[in-house]
Amino acid sequence: MAYDESFYKLYSNYLEEKIVRRNHDLVFKYFQNFAQNSDFSVIDLGCGLGEYSAYGHYVFYAGVDLNSAGRVNNFIKADYHDLKFIQDLSFKPRIFVSLFSIECCHSVKDKYAFYEKIFAEIPSIEFGLVSGFFYESKRQLETVGETGDIVSHQTIEDPSVHISNLFSELRIYLKTPSKMFSEDVIEVWKILSRY
């Protein structure tokens, strides 16, 4: 199945599950309060269905993805790893979000290198909100197989090993059982803040 129409239909239902919606809305509220003095000009890297565009707070928003043309308003079809598309935006993003995309699709080394790149190459970025997860019963595994024959990286690394000179990291852990991903999922939300 991978990231096809069947996956996006299942994922859309997942986003509407009561506990999922409650937890995600809670994190969005925490993030808005944390970054309250920032201009909420948001670039959504790996926007997928555009959850943040539907439920998050922003003044300006653009979603970037290769897989989701037509699903999100202000959509840019591009590889978010190549940050050149930022130059063509009509606004300077102050916030980037990546809901499960970066954390789930990259190894620990690669995702932290990419966060460094974002803060280094986009001086307007002040904050980031990224999300990952781990299965309580598989906490010892870096990668796991999931719905749709997708292999995902779990967010299980020790944050003290990945201290940046460009940004600080705060974490939130929330039990988020769901029909799509099982009963023992712990979501890991990271708030990144430029020094």
- pLDDT of 90-102, one tens digit each? 999 999 999 999 9
- pLDDT of 153-194, one tens digit each? 999 999 999 999 999 999 999 999 999 999 999 999 999 999
The token duo for 14 is 């997942």
Q: 189, 172 in Cβ contact below 8 A?
A: yes
pTM score, whole prediction: 0.95
- Cα separation of 166 and 189, whole Å? 19
The token duo for 123 is 């001086």
Long-range contacts of 109-112 (CB under 8 A, 24+ apart): 111/153, 112/162, 112/164
Residue with token string 């930022």: 86
- Give the model's confidence band at 68: pLDDT under 50 very low, under 70 low, under 90 confident, else very high: low
- pLDDT of 78-90, one tens digit each? 999 999 999 999 9
Higher pLDDT pick, 7 / 98: 98
Poorest-confidence range of 4-8, 40-44, 59-63, 134-138? 4-8
124 φ/ψ sector (left φ>0, alpha ψ -120 to 50, else beta): alpha
Residue 168's identity, in one-letter code, is S
Domain segments of the chain as ranges: 5-194
- The packing angle between helices 18-34 and 5-16, to 10°, is 80
What pLDDT sits at residue 1? Answer: 42
Which CATH number describes the domain made up of 5-194? 3.40.50.150
Residue with token string 């944050």: 159
Higher pLDDT pick, 119 / 1: 119
What lies within 8 Å, CB to CB, of 47 at 6+ separation is 53, 63, 64, 65, 68, 71, 72, 75, 101
